[in-house]
Amino acid sequence: MLLRYFKKLPILASLVALSPGAAFAQATEAATPNKGDTAWMLMSTVLVFFMILPGIGLFYGGMVRAKNMLSVLTQIMVVACVVCLLWIVYGYSLAFTAGGDFKEFIGDFSKLFLIGVSPASTTADGGLPEYVFICFQMTFAMLTPTLIVGSFAERMRFPAVLLFSILWFTFVYIPIAHMVWGGGLLAEWGALDFAGGTVVHINAGIAGLVGCLLVGKRIGFGKELIAPHSLTMTMIGGAMLWFGWFGFNAGSALKADGGAGLAMINTFVATAAAGLAWLLAEWILKGHPSMLGLVSGAIAGLVAVTPAAGFAGPMGSIVLGLLAGVVCFVFCSTIKNAFGYDDTLDVFGIHGVGGIIGAIATGIVVAPALGGTGLATGEYVMATQVWIQTKAVLVSLLWTGIGSLILFKLVGIFTPLRASSEEEREGLDLAEHGERAYNY
């Protein structure tokens, strides 16, 4: 589990379920960070950054039509840049400080503008230079809202995306991050979320679902051929996501040790299993083993193993991956069609569904009997843990679902959410950004 930062909460912290390898050290402020750990976290930060750009940019961008490629890329990069700045202005402070009256839900303003942080500052347990920890967390904050844009891609207006993302980061992401990692509600409950399955993936998946329902279907959806303009790009992006996810998951150990090694091997095998599962299911049920299916399955596996990466054993991760691959395939290829909504890039079908599977299953695969690590403190009882996990999922479902709904409505008051049908036909690249992606 992510040994997040509890400066003033040593007692609370010790109640939280920890990764077995992670000695919490009761805030020995004096300790100097180990440079091996620091090197790994610097690198992990860079890897998570790579997930955003080019990672998710290409994975998503390859699936839209050429005329909307730049629109997707611009939205992702702008959102990431804005959140980057907001993170040091107030995000880090609100997510990772102790908080006041509402400390179950939100931190406080004591580190606005990173006041008081210097190169010599460390995390509470002295494990890492604080700047490094801030950077690592920042990449998670930057990534999450970019995931959402996939659901309403090819039709939502750029100003609306920008405004929504700022609000959503502030009122949805930060509180959830605080609840899970900042010593808030879900941490108190003992919910396990090693690398952010709830904070990042369920969160983004639900917001995406709400968004695409509100914005409506693309013109021609279900009638015209709306084929991905470059599955090559999607593969590149997907591979880069996997690559960067090693930093996301194994980096969440916050140490360069055997625990990081466990998270890494799980990030290998769950992903491989899920990719193969989707491919095989598709081969059997639809007649063709597709590359898009293979990559989609791999991403579903990555999503599902995220909360479990440091808790499950490798065999448990394989089972989790197989499950996520098959369920997400069925969801995206059948259930979604039955409902008939247009989630352009299956943000909900992969991040939402995969995230929920992972969050709940983490309560199972952590079982020592199944090769998992067990809990750091307290005795493991499967039913109890699964219930805690489920409750945590429900809280974030509600918070994000309701929050996103309100914020979309709010944004819609200030600026139209959706491009005109003429702009949509011409493509958002020309209509909104005045550029074309390709001139061969």
Partner 1 sequence: MKFVIAIIKPFKLDEVRDALSSLDVHGLTVTEVKGYGRQKGHTEIYRGAEYAVNFLPKIKIEVAVDTAIVQQVVDAIAAAAQTGQIGDGKIFVLSLDSILRIRTGETDGDAL
Spell out the residues 6+ positions from residue 369 whose beta carbon is closer than 8 angstroms to its own: none
Q: What is the Cα–Cα distance from 410 to 405, expressed in whole angstroms? A: 9
- CB 80 within 8 Å of CB 143: yes
| For a copy of itself, the closer CB: 87 or 189 | 87
Secondary structure (DSSP) of 314-360: HHHHHHHHHHHHHHHHHIIIIIHHHHT---TT-IIIIIIHHHHHHHH
The Cα-based distances of 346 to 96, 257, 426 in angstroms read 31, 35, 23
The sign one gets for the Cα dihedral 420, 425, 431, 432 is positive
Q: What is the Cα–Cα distance from 70 to 343, expressed in whole angstroms? A: 19
Quick one: which segment of 10-18, 68-76, 201-209, 351-359 binds a copy of itself (CB under 8 A)?
Answer: 68-76
Q: What is the Cα–Cα distance from 283 to 377, expressed in whole angstroms? A: 44
Quick one: which segment of 3-11, 46-54, 188-196, 332-340 binds a copy of itself (CB under 8 A)?
Answer: 46-54
Residue among 4, 65, 103, 201 that touches a copy of itself (CB under 8 A): 65
Count of C-beta atoms within a 10 Å radius of residue 329: 25
What residues from 420 to 439 belong to the interface with a copy of itself (CB under 8 A)?
432-439
Compute the least distance from the CB of residue 231 to partner 1, in Å.
Answer: 8
Q: What is the Cα–Cα distance from 38 to 369, expressed in whole angstroms? A: 33
Is 30 among the residues that bind a copy of itself (CB under 8 A)? no
Quick one: which segment of 106-114, 186-194, 216-224, 308-316 binds partner 1 (CB under 8 A)?
Answer: 216-224
What residues from 41 to 100 belong to the interface with partner 1 (CB under 8 A)?
63
Binding mask 143-172 for a copy of itself (x = CB under 8 A): ---------------x--------------
What residues from 354 to 383 belong to the interface with a copy of itself (CB under 8 A)?
373
Is 292 among the residues that bind partner 1 (CB under 8 A)? yes
Is 232 among the residues that bind a copy of itself (CB under 8 A)? yes
Is 420 among the residues that bind partner 1 (CB under 8 A)? no
Residue 243's binding partner out of partner 1, a copy of itself, none, with CB under 5 to 8 Å set by partner kind: a copy of itself
154 DSSP assignment: T
Residue with tokens 């107030």: 90
- CB 19 within 8 Å of CB 3: yes
Residue 220's binding partner out of partner 1, a copy of itself, none, with CB under 5 to 8 Å set by partner kind: partner 1
Is 61 among the residues that bind a copy of itself (CB under 8 A)? yes
Q: Which residues pair with 122 in a beta bridge?
A: 129
Residue among 42, 204, 213, 319 that touches a copy of itself (CB under 8 A): 42
Spell out the residues 6+ positions from residue 143 whose beta carbon is closer than 8 angstroms to its own: 48, 51, 52, 56, 80, 200
Is 377 among the residues that bind partner 1 (CB under 8 A)? no
Residue among 34, 110, 170, 390 that touches a copy of itself (CB under 8 A): 34
Structure tokens at 89: 């202005």
Q: What is the Cα–Cα distance from 411 to 377, expressed in whole angstroms? A: 44
Longest CA–CA separation in the chain, Å: 65
What residues from 264 to 323 belong to the interface with a copy of itself (CB under 8 A)?
264-265, 268-269, 271-273, 275-276, 279, 286-292, 294-295, 298, 314-315, 318
Binding mask 235-254 for a copy of itself (x = CB under 8 A): xx--xx-xx--xx--x----
What residues from 307 to 346 belong to the interface with partner 1 (CB under 8 A)?
332-334, 336-337, 346
What residues from 119 to 148 belong to the interface with a copy of itself (CB under 8 A)?
119-122, 129-132, 134-135, 138
Residue among 27, 43, 214, 406 that touches a copy of itself (CB under 8 A): 43
Is 232 among the residues that bind partner 1 (CB under 8 A)? no
